[in-house]
Amino acid sequence: MDFSVTPLTPTIGAEIRGLDLRRPLDDNIMAQVRQVWLDHVIVLFSEQDIDDAQQIAFSRGIGTLELINMAALQVPGKPEIYRATNLNEDDTIMVPEHPVMQTNRDNQKWHSDSSFKHVPATASLLHARVVPESDGETEFANMAAAYDALDDATKEQIDDLIVVHNFYWSRRGVDAIAFTEEEKAAIPPVRHPLVRVHPETGRKTIYAGSHAESIEGMPQEDSRALIDRLNEHATQPRFTYRHKWRVGDMILWDNRAALHRGLAFDAAVQKRRLHRTTVAGNRPTL
């Protein structure tokens, strides 16, 4: 089976065409796809008419899947699927005060999926089912390229620092009813290196984003200033790709080397539903 690879930007992203993800891919093709993903951080597969079972099956070719531990965000009966949506079960639009709508707004911050877990996620795959007519794009940032572009003094400053990631720091505006006490207790703050060494490519990456609350051993004001400076540096246009969704698009990205965010759209009028699977990590970062 042949497929084509076209870079999306000089620093991040590639599109793969010629694969039908409704059908299983053999080990050789999966190895080639994985290498494209590692080389480019994100991979776009266009025009994929797949269902949840097919998305789950393809995702398992990348690795073991995380289960979504927050019931409000799951596809009913499918804990492998996170719904990025503003729609109720009957396909009507949620009211603005719905706690999931606040979660959607918080996802407009740059973040790495599951960085708030002791063993953070390896990859995510997002498939477009319903897309708004305008806006609602998703942006991705290459954190390895961003690290490479730092000056030597900053690299020396941050290489050995430990950063605390906390889901409820980044989601401190979420209404408490969105999450049960049991769900909250399942994700306490965790420690990660501020600079991760990618386990497959060996490249250093900045591991920050909106879940990054503080840096150990540093006053809070200085800590926040450094995290904010790194996030701003890493999300410059030269390191990023913005994707305008079409129904059937699926993007696979590397959470060890990318930040991403969903951009706003008129969620009170336009409908949007994307389904995400998340590939679990296999070891702690420290």
Predicted pLDDT at 179: 66
Strands 42-45 and 14-17 come out as parallel
Predicted pLDDT at 169: 87
Q: Which residues of 165-194 are buried (b: 16+ CB within 10 A; e: fewer)?
A: bbbeebbeebeeebbeeeeeeebeebebbb
Question: 20-32 pLDDT, tens per residue?
Answer: 999 999 999 999 9
Q: Which band of pLDDT confidence, cut at 50, 70 and 90, is reported for residue 282? A: very high
Of the listed ranges 18-32, 91-105, 253-267, the least confidently predicted one is 91-105
* 169 to 133, 173, 209: CA distances (angstroms): 32, 9, 11
Residue 137 has pLDDT above 90, yes or no: yes
The C-alpha torsion from 115 through 211 and 192 to 181, rounded to 10°, is -70
Q: Tally Cβ neighbours within 10 Å of residue 7.
A: 13
What percent of the chain is modeled with pLDDT above 70? 97
The answer regarding whether domain 4-279 maps to CATH 3.60.130.10 reads yes
Phi and psi based region of residue 156 (left: phi greater than 0; alpha: psi -120 to 50; beta: remaining):
alpha
Can you tell me the mean pLDDT for 159-165?
98
Q: Which band of pLDDT confidence, cut at 50, 70 and 90, is reported for residue 217? A: very high
Question: 106-135 pLDDT, tens per residue?
Answer: 899 999 999 999 999 999 999 999 999 999
Average pLDDT taken over every residue of the chain: 94
CA 227 to chain centroid: 18
Predicted pLDDT at 174: 53
Residue 173 has pLDDT above 60, yes or no: no
* 186 to 33, 72, 90, 168, 189: CA distances (angstroms): 33, 15, 30, 12, 10
Q: Which band of pLDDT confidence, cut at 50, 70 and 90, is reported for residue 1? A: low
Of the listed ranges 42-56, 103-117, 197-211, 215-229, the least confidently predicted one is 103-117
Residue 183 has pLDDT above 80, yes or no: no
Q: Which band of pLDDT confidence, cut at 50, 70 and 90, is reported for residue 102? A: confident
**This prediction's pTM:** 0.94
For the stretch 218-226, contacts whose Cβ atoms lie closer than 8 Å and that sit 24 or more positions apart, written own/partner, are 218/161, 226/158
